[in-house]
Amino acid sequence: MRTVDTLLCCRWVVPVQPRGVVLTEHAIAVEAGRIVAVLPAAQARREFAARETVELPHHAVTPGLINAHTHAAMSLLRGVGDDLPLERWLRERIWPLEAAFASEQFVYDGTRLAALEMLRAGQTTCSDMYFFPEAAARALRDAGMRAVVGIIAIEFPTAYATDADDYLRKGLAARDALRDDPLISFTLAPHAPYTVADATLARIATLAEELDLPVHMHVHETAHEVGESVRTHGTRPLARLDRLGLVSERLLAVHAVHLDDAEIRLLAERGATVVHCPSSNLKLASGIARTAMLAARGVNLALGTDGAASNNRLDLLEEARLAALLAKGASGDATALPAAAVLEAATLAGARALGLAERIGSIEADKEADLVAFDLSAVETQPCFDPLSHLVYACGREHVSDVWVRGRRVVRTRQVLDVAGAPLSAAVIAPLVAWQNRLRQFLNAPAA
């Protein structure tokens, strides 16, 4: 009999790979942070002696959800710019607030708050894009979450850096400092075509090849962005990125709301990923992405929440449900983006985009044990004929009971735990009152 660290005995296991499979009365054996076997529970009890056995009699267990696009620190700006279109939201609210408050401590405190929210919603990995990436990485790591941190680039100065070269220099130094952390990896993260110059984008294309890094970027988020690019550069943003060598399997094109047929074909041919953020797109009235067409053409489709300042909640399950419903409603095809495809978008597709598919994104032997247990015993999830369908159409983040990252339980019965197993929420929430008071004072100050 083989000894393992943990044996999860589950009512259902939804491994994601192969797509659509649901395993009934199965167990997951975990040793040293990795999945060593997925097998019928009765057989597992005969073959493994576990240091800890976790009984999940009413639960569906999935891979950890992967939030492929967020700005975690912006949780401190939740609700400060509601009911504004993107351009006004940025210029009248977000950029002035960031100019006044963005700092290493702001990023650490805001990101740690976001990490707790994401973990409680079953997200074990996020792809973050914000200033002070080393502070963000530290906050996510301290919360026990896996992070893919963006090396941001933008042309204008902030409290973090003076120009694009300075952003890249500092971000690459952060990558060097954290290169041995098993839970931290990096992307190159130019903000958007309209805020990054050709020379910087060309340099990023070169760096991506040299360092084997994904490129995480807002692309075609609004019709205004596309029109301005035509007026300024004589071409649409994606064509400009393609000319500069950035449209490839490395690209995470975030939002990608305003794509024509030729652009969808280009993304498919190059193996690029579209990160769909439906709540943010709807709230900012940016439009509805053509996800049914993207999926039909074979584009890798991942999901993101965007930041809490443009979404107000970091809930990837809500994004999954919205993604399924919007794809059907916008295309007129009720078969578009079925539940199994959407769950894959929330897990394995994000892992593919971020270069992590060999490590996470599905429940398979030899992968790292990033796992989420959903309790389906509640009134609102009864009866349950198809647990996979329930995960997308019936469940919410309140049904997440337990979460493991690399084999360590980081959420137990909805309580986020520190490395010693103690509740973490009080330590995270304590600094927030001071930030709220400072932000409120700034927002209420009379205009100069």
> In this predicted structure, what is the pLDDT of residue 448?
55
β-bridge mates for residue 254, sequence order: 218, 275
> In this predicted structure, what is the pLDDT of residue 171?
98
Predicted TM-score (pTM) of this structure:
0.97
- pLDDT average, residue stretch 136-144: 96
- The three-class DSSP label of residue 310 is helix
Domain 65-353 annotated CATH 3.90.850.10: no
User: In the numeric block, which tokens belong to residue 207?
Assistant: 């760096």
DSSP string computed for 402-435: EEEETTEEEEETTEEB-TTS-B-HHHHHTTHHHH
pLDDT tier for residue 423 given thresholds of 50, 70 and 90:
confident
Q: Please determine, for residue 30, whether its predicted confidence score (pLDDT) is greater than 80.
A: yes
> In this predicted structure, what is the pLDDT of residue 424?
83
Q: Please determine, for residue 368, whether its predicted confidence score (pLDDT) is greater than 80.
A: yes
> In this predicted structure, what is the pLDDT of residue 447?
63
Q: Please determine, for residue 108, whether its predicted confidence score (pLDDT) is greater than 70.
A: yes
> In this predicted structure, what is the pLDDT of residue 419?
80
At 260, the amino acid letter reads D
Dist CA 163 CA 156 (whole Å): 6
> In this predicted structure, what is the pLDDT of residue 41?
98
Query: Which of 60-69, 347-356, 414-423 shows the lowest per-residue confidence on average (mean pLDDT)?
Result: 414-423
Query: Which of 23-32, 50-59, 189-198, 436-445 shows the lowest per-residue confidence on average (mean pLDDT)?
Result: 436-445
pLDDT tier for residue 428 given thresholds of 50, 70 and 90:
confident
Dist CA 246 CA 206 (whole Å): 9
> In this predicted structure, what is the pLDDT of residue 87?
85
pLDDT over 70 percentage in the chain = 100
Q: Domain boundaries in the chain?
A: 2-63+363-417, 65-353
Dist CA 10 CA 8 (whole Å): 6
Q: Please determine, for residue 446, whether its predicted confidence score (pLDDT) is greater than 80.
A: no
Segment (H or E) for 26: strand 23-31
pLDDT tier for residue 285 given thresholds of 50, 70 and 90:
very high
pLDDT over 90 percentage in the chain = 93
Whether 54 contacts 7, CB under 8 Å: yes
Question: Is 148 exposed, middle or buried (CB count within 10 Å of its CB: 0-12, 13-18, 19+)?
Answer: buried
Q: Please determine, for residue 343, whether its predicted confidence score (pLDDT) is greater than 60.
A: yes
235-264: pLDDT as tens digits: 999 999 999 999 999 999 999 999 999 999
Dist CA 86 CA 226 (whole Å): 13
Q: Which CATH number fits domain 2-63+363-417: 3.40.50.150, 3.30.70.2860, 2.30.40.10, 2.60.90.10?
A: 2.30.40.10
Q: What is the chain's percent helix, strand, coil content, to nearest 5?
A: 45, 25, 35
- pLDDT average, residue stretch 149-162: 96
- pLDDT average, residue stretch 130-153: 97
> In this predicted structure, what is the pLDDT of residue 418?
85
Segment (H or E) for 252: strand 251-255
Question: Is 90 exposed, middle or buried (CB count within 10 Å of its CB: 0-12, 13-18, 19+)?
Answer: middle
- pLDDT average, residue stretch 217-229: 97
pLDDT tier for residue 392 given thresholds of 50, 70 and 90:
very high
pLDDT tier for residue 150 given thresholds of 50, 70 and 90:
very high
Dist CA 439 CA 420 (whole Å): 33
